[in-house]
Structure 1
Amino acid sequence: MRFCPNISTLFNDIPKLTERYIHIVQRKDYRFDAIECQNPYDVSVNNWKEIISNNKSLKWILINSLPLYDQTNMIPSFNDYQQLVLNRTLDYAKALNVKKVHLVMMDITNDSDRQKIIDLVYQAARFFQPHHIICLIEPLSTRLNYYLQSYSIAMDIVKSSKIANLKIMLDSFHLQRLHGNLTERVEEMIPFIGHVQISQTPKRDCPMNEDGEVNHRYFLSKLLAPFYQDFIGLEYNDSSKASFEWLNEFS
């Protein structure tokens, strides 16, 4: 199995994303070949290129789009959404050669708003399709009114779209908090999963912490291994002092 650290959540004692990138390159306990990042926009494209050229080039697996909820309080038209979010997200995706983008949308107050956002998701997936970028939607358990808080609804959105590059982000933390019953949920989502992230529940810490709710050894070895061959994102909170020797168990 292949893993990529999320530099937005890990190594949180290192203040700058660029310094976290360098830290990953220099680690000795586990050799990472790839990363993912929620917010690469904190660093300019040119600065990223400089950091990458001066260090080992790590593969960028995933970035988040600019969060729509940070850009506006109203559901925009697609043209406005493209100007507010998509163009800049695409610039970073192309510059970093990213092939997966998590579409971070916004909160809602009623179901009609949900459908408007879903329409934006469909249009965004078509926007990225010519660039061979997979668009991911993720149910979130940490935003009270987020438009998507159900993996069942996420499956319906993807199935109804009939858009080949629109997939589900499977995150063990959110899945456990929203639904539990991970085995059945994962098995029914297999055809629709585009990316996987893991962290322990309820503290969003190391997946192998035994005082959490999820047995990630079972989750990884029995549920994911038979069908998912791509990188697994380590999107959890920890410092640079944390060990990654546990990953060797899944090599």
Structure 2
Amino acid sequence: MPRFAANLTMMYNEHAFLDRFGAAARDGFEAVEYLFPYEFAAAELKSRLEAHGLTQVLFNAPPGDWAAGERGLASLPGREDEFRRGLDTALTYARVLGNDKLHVMAGVLPAGADRSRHRDVYLRNLEYAAQAASADGIAIVIEPINPRDMPGFFLNRQDDAQAIRREIAAPNLQVQFDCYHCQIVEGDIAKKLERDMPGIGHIQIAGVPDRHEPDTGELNYPYLFERIDTLGYRGWIGCEYRPKAGTSDGLGWMQPYLPRAQAR
């Protein structure tokens, strides 16, 4: 049976951020994820998790200047010290919030960049991150992101991510498999899940092509959920989609899967 985590960055935007925890719990979610926690004190976020019986699943390490279009630092030459400081901050939050997965974004390459140089920096930073996180039992996850939504992003394909994971060979380095991004770039999702499941640390979902609820668009998620179960995945599935209207009104798709929602 799949276990779903509400992505509080994209979902429940009808509420102030700190109120989204309670809204998600009332709808039957038992876990949450979001992009970044750093606007709030870790203790305040922890209190929201505890008040609503929620598990923190995942968040991202600091991405650089998000407002200026930066989407991660891990592959950017000359930003290594900033990357390490950001990782320290992220691990400090994770120790309080209790999540055992931390997403490290690769970053956007400038036009004309030497890709091999960026890859070398990426591997060194991931090696450092995996080693630093291992002391706390935290896995570092890397995510291929489609170039339509994020032009110039360094990592786009599942096979590239898995090759990097194998090359570094750190037990706590895994790949974040976002079905939405994978479908846009590659398709053949069920077979890629079958091929890569041993190296997958986290899964996310959204409808394709519009990134709305997973019961809209071209993907057959009930089939994929069954395949994910059959393949032995026991982690959380992050609902990283933008609701078409009110978040709660669009949750009919998940009622068969959530005991809390069934009990309401």
How far apart, CA to CA, are the structure 1 residues paired with 2:122 and 2:13?
A: 32
Number of aligned residue pairs: give it: 243
Distance 1:22 1:125, change over 3 A: same
Task: Determine the C-alpha separation between the residues in 2 that align with 1:7 and 1:149.
Answer: 24
TM-score by length of 1: 0.89
Match of 2:162 in 1: 155
Q: Hey, what does 2:24 align to over in structure 1?
A: 24
2:101 equivalent to 1:96: no
CA distance in 1, matches of 2:247, 2:208: 20
* Match of residue 32, structure 2, among 23, 31, 35: 35
Q: Deviations over 1:119-164 (max 9, x none)?
A: 2112111111111001100001122111111111101001111100
Asked whether 1:234 is paired with 2:236, we answer no
**Structure 1 SS opposite 2:120:** helix
Counterpart code for 1:197: Q
Question: Is the partner of 2:135 in helix, strand or coil?
Answer: helix
Q: Which runs of 4+ in 1 moved over 4 A?
A: 70-74
Deviations for 1:15-42, whole angstroms, at most 9, x for unmatched residues? x210111212333xxx221111111112
Q: Distance in 2 between matches of 1:173 and 1:128?
A: 27
- Quote how far apart the aligned CAs of 1:74 are: 5.2
Q: Distance in 2 between matches of 1:51 and 1:218?
A: 34
Structure 2: stretches of 5+ with no match in the other structure: 65-69, 259-264
Aligned residues: CA RMSD: 2.0
Q: Using CA pairs under 8 Å that are at least 6 residues apart, name the structure with larger relative contact order, 1 or 2.
A: 1
> In 2, are the aligned partners of 1:78 and 1:123 still within 8 Å (CA)?
no
Which residue identity does 1:110 align to in structure 2?
A: D
CA contact (8 A) 2:143 2:161 kept: yes
Q: Say yes or no: does 1:11 pair with 2:12.
A: yes
Structure 1 unaligned residues grouped into runs of 5+:
none
Identical aligned pairs, as a percentage?
24
Paired letter, 1:56:
H
Match in the other structure for 2:67: none
Q: C-alpha distance in 2, partners of 1:12/1:134? A: 28
Deviation for aligned residue 1:56 = 1.9
What TM-score comes out, normalization by structure 2 length? 0.85
Q: Is the 8 A contact 2:30 2:55 kept in 1?
A: yes
Amino acid at match of 2:77: I
